[in-house]
């Protein structure tokens, strides 16, 4: 059965895209069939995997086909990456989607309806969300079995999570009762600094009782920062790095989580 994971946090720059790419490739390396969906008009996942920004067929077209109820080939937008993952790209043409969804019937369910056409082909579909809590993110949460929340252990980290969890709970109540939280993942962690440790502890204190927090954080690493411009994952860029090790651990934990379902 296919599991759909939305990688969400309305804060930008917390590691959503980096986590989508490296969790996705990490799962593919463990033998899983993986589809990555770029649901951010900034198109960072698309660019970060080395695809061009002016692609003609993107997630936007696929969602429009669903909205208009026309028959279409759902795999038309899919690209293959050489590291063994498929990708549905996006670019700035997706920008208007958040607004135009507002007037659509069943507007929360458009992405879900589209991904249902593809789910037989994959073990995991990972949705890289945009940094907002608008309609596209709600669409991602409605389509998802779980939400994974990357958090940078900064001073205000715990604050922003309240808003996100409110939207999560609202979506669960109204559109997707089965959804759960995969976990909070600390990214760009520098645990050798007291500051980072203190901020992680604050998140544990505020949410640790209700929400899974992954035991292993993703370290802040030069290698991880460099892959965005290289069109590859950390596994291809530097297999021996701490970053690769930490994303492999995450992939294994996500996989074992699915097995208990
Ligand atoms: N573990 C890390 N160590 C160092 N830099 C990182 C790490 N994870 C992400 N980055 C960098 O931080 C920036 C924001 O990451 P990104 O994944 O694009 O966040 P988001 O998708 O939440 O906006 C990018 O420049 C990325 O290369
Ligand atoms: Mg991003």
Ligand 1 closest atom vs CA 19: 17
Q: What is the pLDDT of residue 49?
A: 97
Does the predicted TM-score (pTM) go above 0.85? yes
Q: Is the CB of 14 under 6 A from ligand 1?
A: yes
- 45 CA → ligand 2 middle, Å: 7
Residue range 49-91, pLDDT digits in tens: 999 999 999 999 999 999 999 999 999 999 999 999 999 999 9
pLDDT greater than 90 at residue 98:
no
Nearest CA to ligand 1 atom 17: 15
pLDDT greater than 90 at residue 100:
no
Q: Is the CB of 81 under 6 A from ligand 1?
A: no
Q: What is the pLDDT of residue 99?
A: 86
- 255 CA → ligand 2 middle, Å: 23
Query: Please, what sign has the CA dihedral across residues 173, 182, 37, 113?
Result: negative
Task: Give the Cα separation of 69 and 168 in Å (integer).
Answer: 28
Nearest CA to ligand 1 atom 8: 15
Ligand 1 closest atom vs CA 128: 21
Q: What is the pLDDT of residue 155?
A: 81
Contact 55, 46 (CB under 8 A): yes
Nearest CA to ligand 1 atom 10: 225
Domains of the chain, each with CATH number or no CATH = 3-259 (3.40.50.300)
Taking phi over 0 as left and psi of -120 to 50 as alpha, with beta for the rest, 29 belongs to alpha
Q: Is the CB of 17 under 6 A from ligand 1?
A: yes
Nearest CA to ligand 1 atom 6: 225
Contact 18, 138 (CB under 8 A): no
């Amino acid at each position: 059965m296919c599991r759909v994971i939305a990688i969400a946090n309305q804060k930008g720059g917390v590691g959503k895209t980096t986590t989508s790419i490296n969790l996705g490739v990490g799962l593919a390396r463990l033998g899983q069939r993986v589809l990555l969906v770029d649901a951010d008009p900034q198109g960072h996942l698309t660019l970060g995997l080395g695809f061009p920004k002016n692609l003609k067929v993107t997630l936007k077209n696929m969602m429009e086909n669903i909205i208009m109820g026309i028959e279409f080939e759902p795999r038309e937008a899919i690209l293959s990456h050489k590291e063994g993952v498929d990708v549905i790209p996006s670019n700035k043409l997706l920008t208007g989607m958040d607004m135009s969804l507002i007037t659509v019937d069943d507007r929360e369910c458009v992405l879900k309806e589209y991904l249902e056409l593809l789910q037989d082909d994959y073990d995991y579909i990972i949705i890289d969300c945009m940094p907002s809590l608008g309609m596209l993110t709600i669409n991602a949460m409605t389509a998802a079995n779980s939400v994974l929340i990357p958090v940078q252990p900064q001073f205000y980290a715990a604050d922003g999570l309240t808003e996100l969890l409110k939207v999560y709970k609202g979506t669960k109540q109204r559109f997707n009762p089965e959804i759960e939280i995969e976990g909070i993942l600390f990214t760009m962690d520098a645990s050798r600094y007291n500051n980072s440790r203190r901020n992680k502890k604050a998140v544990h204190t505020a949410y640790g009782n209700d929400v899974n927090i992954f035991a292993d954080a993703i370290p802040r690493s030069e290698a991880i920062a460099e892959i965005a411009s290289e069109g590859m994952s950390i596994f291809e860029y530097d297999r021996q790095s701490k970053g690769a090790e930490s994303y492999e651990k995450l992939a294994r934990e996500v996989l074992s989580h699915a097995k208990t379902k």
